[in-house]
Structure 1
Amino acid sequence: MSRSIRLLHLLQLLREYRYPVTAQILAERLQISQRSVYRDIESLRSQGVHIDAAAGLGFQLKEDFLLPPMTLNETEIEAMFLALYWLKSVPDQALNEASISVLAKLNAVLPEHRQNLLQQTTLRAFNVWLPVNQALVEQVRVSIRSQVKIFFDYVDEQQRASARTVWPFALGYFNDKIVLAAWCELRSDFRNFRLDRMQSLSLSQELYPQFKQQLFQQWWTQEVCRSTTDKN
């Protein structure tokens, strides 16, 4: 990681904490030494970032000069908060952390009276998800983003096991389960796969031969009105 990228990551971490955060916590989050944290804090200060330091408590970002103000009405703020709060419940650690980061960025660019509304919002979303390997969930998201084939073992509704090679292009979050929409090479057709039934997943380095948007449109035409029940 270059130093400039590390400084941006440090600045974003400081945005996430409303109260002082210690150099030890920052070092652990950034996977660097505490000495590097102190140096980076001074670098940010030299660039005009207002960071307070309190002995025994840590560092706190007091104002953010990089982001422009943003105007959102009350309903827009509640909508964004509710969506981000729901995202924190999804069994995917990277998305959990991203929701916290986005919320911090949102708080940083809102006028003070809107920040108060964001902090006082009591809307909540609750989901109970079937147990799933969170690392696997993230791998599936990455494969969709990268448009690469994936391999995994799958157990269907009738407890039949099979090995699959698929072209992943969409994820759906249905009540208690996450479902992957993909083109299955074994069936030569679109299939839906529940992530809680996948095992031993690995990413290929091979791009699949169509754009994911095209696959999504084809699947939408064929599958959107059908049940999400496995037919694997």
Structure 2
Amino acid sequence: MRPADRLFRIIQLMRSSGRAMTAAEIAEKMEVAPRTIYRDMEHLMASGAPIEGERGVGYMLREAFDAPPLTFTFEQLEALAFGLRAVEMLGDPKLGKSAREARDKMLDILPEDHRQRLVGAPIHAFRSASQPPTESLSEIRRAIGEARKIWIAYHSLDGERSQRVILPVALCAFGTIWLVTAWCEMRDDFRDFRVDRIEDWQMLSDRFTLEPHQAYEVYLQRLQKG
């Protein structure tokens, strides 16, 4: 867990407890050593967080402090929770972990009645055991964010094998199938590639700048026109 995330979780833990907590108690919840919590408390108090206490005694959050309220209806919160659950199930391990952490943060700051309703809501997302996310998914996400070219060895549905350099512009999930939309240098046009059919890949050092006709919006316009 990143230090910034841990500080946020400490505040939420102390707020929900409503009492003084020792560094050992907090450390157990955060799965870190007590000395780490001592440093975190010093940082929080120096940053102006309304925490009272000291080493060997315990720490308590003053009642005046509270997180800003979320102005979402329950149905909106349910939609967010379901979306995060779907990302957790369908995304790659890094994206899934981030979705779980985001969901935990959301639950931490909700009123108790909303939190219990969301935890028990009969709405779920599942992943097929036969089609887990491939390792290349997180690398493709990174390549899109960094505008990096990717070399791929691809096996199409009709049995054709090819090696290409692509400029990835978007990822899209259809059920358990992920597609990467890219500008293919070999075809000099847009192509969709199933991520689970990429047999090998390598992120290249080459970065790219899309020409106007290579923009993802142009691809979407083509789809709308049929």
Q: What is the TM-score when the length of structure 1 is the normalising length? A: 0.72
**Could you tell me how far apart the structure 2 residues matched to 1:66 and 1:211 are?**
48
Q: CA 1:83/1:161 → structure 2, altered by over 3 Å: closer, same or farther?
A: same
Q: Is the 8 A contact 1:82 1:124 kept in 2?
A: yes
> Which residue type is aligned with residue 199 of structure 2?
Q
The amino acid that maps onto 2:39 is: D
Structure 1 residues 119 and 24, CA, compared in 2 at 3 Å: closer, same or farther? Answer: closer
Large movers: runs of 4+ above 4 Å: 12-25, 211-214
1:118 to 2:114 alignment: no
Measure, in 1, the Cα distance between the counterparts of 2:185 and 2:216: 16
Closer/same/farther in 2, CA of residues 208 and 224 from structure 1, 3 Å limit: farther
Give the superposed CA RMSD. 3.8
Residue equivalent to 1:100: 100
Q: Does the CA contact (< 8 Å) of 1:81 and 1:118 recur in 2?
A: yes
Q: Give unmatched runs, 5+ long, in structure 2.
A: 18-24, 53-60
CA contact (8 A) 2:154 2:199 kept: yes
Q: Rate the CA distance shift 1:110–1:24 in 2: closer, same or farther, 3 A.
A: closer
Q: For 1:92 and 1:168, how far apart are their aligned partners in 2?
A: 17
Aligned equivalents of 1:50, 1:122: Cα separation in 2:
38
Aligned amino acid, residue 147 of structure 2: Q
Distance 2:79 2:186 in 1: 41
Matched, 1:215 2:215: yes
Determine the C-alpha separation between the residues in 1 that align with 2:12 and 2:219. Answer: 39
Q: Give the conservation status (yes or no) of the 8 Å contact 2:171–2:180.
A: yes
Match of 1:127 in 2: 127
* Higher-Rg member (1/2): 2
Change (3 A) 1:39 1:182: same
How far apart are residue 193 of structure 1 and its match? 0.4
Q: Distance in 2 between matches of 1:199 and 1:212?
A: 30
Are the aligned partners of 2:26 and 2:37 in contact in 1 as well (CA < 8 Å)?
no
Counterparts of 1:213 and 1:188, CA distance in 2: 11
Alignment partner of 1:7 out of 3, 15, 19: 3
Residues 33-60 of structure 1 deviation map (CA, whole Å, 9 limit, x = unaligned)? x476244343356354769xxxxxxxxx
The code of the aligned residue for 2:5 comes to H
Aligned to 2:55: none
**2:192 paired with 1:196:** no
Distance change (3 Å), C-alpha of 1:116 and 1:14: same
Q: Which residue of 2 aligns with 1:148?
A: 148
> Percent of pairs identical after alignment?
22
